[in-house]
Amino acid sequence: MGTAVEIEFACSLNPDGVLPAYFGFLQLRPMVGRGEFVEVDLQSIPPEKVFCFSQKVLGNGIIDNVKDVIVVKQDNYDQAKSARIAQEVGALNEHLRREGRPYILIGPGRWGSADPWLGIPVRWEQISGVKAIVETPLKNLDVEPSQGSHFFHNLSALRIGYFTVSKKPEESFLDYDFLDNCPTFTETEHLKLLRFEYPFTVKIDGRKCQGVILKPEGMK
């Protein structure tokens, strides 16, 4: 996990003697970190500087050290291939972790979904270098975000931002044109890796569950 953890365990003891005794680990998860809440005033931010905003956001604080973006290609996205996409994400994640480069992850449906038809079924180790996740709507299905699993506990504890973008423009926004016009650093069959000279700025107000991702300085 790369941080302090809490471990849940259980043991079974023989009432007739000390042995045999069994000790088992049930689950392991990162300790929830504490951070100061930040004010996110969406009205004061010039629209041309906003890459993404949402009123359904998990997390809290400011992230300003991310220069890479992994995005699922929209033109050839196939829900039947979501397990393959998860493998490609894992391979890019490992490469970026070795380089010490955190990233923003963007794609359709629920990330970490147990149902591959509702999103990309990544395991935690396949996105362990991520700093912010953007969940975009599926074209043919409205999927409510799932926020009750250990996957989401990890997001909260490690202060990773999770943005849900819906089909309602008054609730959220993602600048797809900006993504399409940025040069691709490298790509796989289903993913593009975009790399920028200057970092994005992610601001999340955990009290209001809203947040923004600002474009790198000097970009429109």
DSSP string of 8-22, one letter each residue? EEEEEE-TTSS-SEE
pLDDT at 129: 94
Average pLDDT over residues 54-74: 91
pLDDT at 16: 83
Place of tokens 């259980």: 10
What average pLDDT does the chain have? 86
Pair 70, 179: CB distance under 8 Å: no
pLDDT at 147: 56
pLDDT at 19: 83
- In sequence order, the 6+-apart residues with CB closer than 8 A to the CB of 62 are 38, 201, 202, 203, 204
pLDDT band at 17 (very low <50, low <70, confident <90, very high): confident
Query: Domain segments of the chain: what residues?
Result: 37-214
pLDDT digits (tens, 9 = 90+) for 126-185: 999 999 999 999 877 666 665 555 566 677 677 788 999 988 888 899 999 999 999 999
pLDDT at 206: 79
Pair 71, 194: CB distance under 8 Å: yes
The pTM assigned to this predicted structure is 0.81
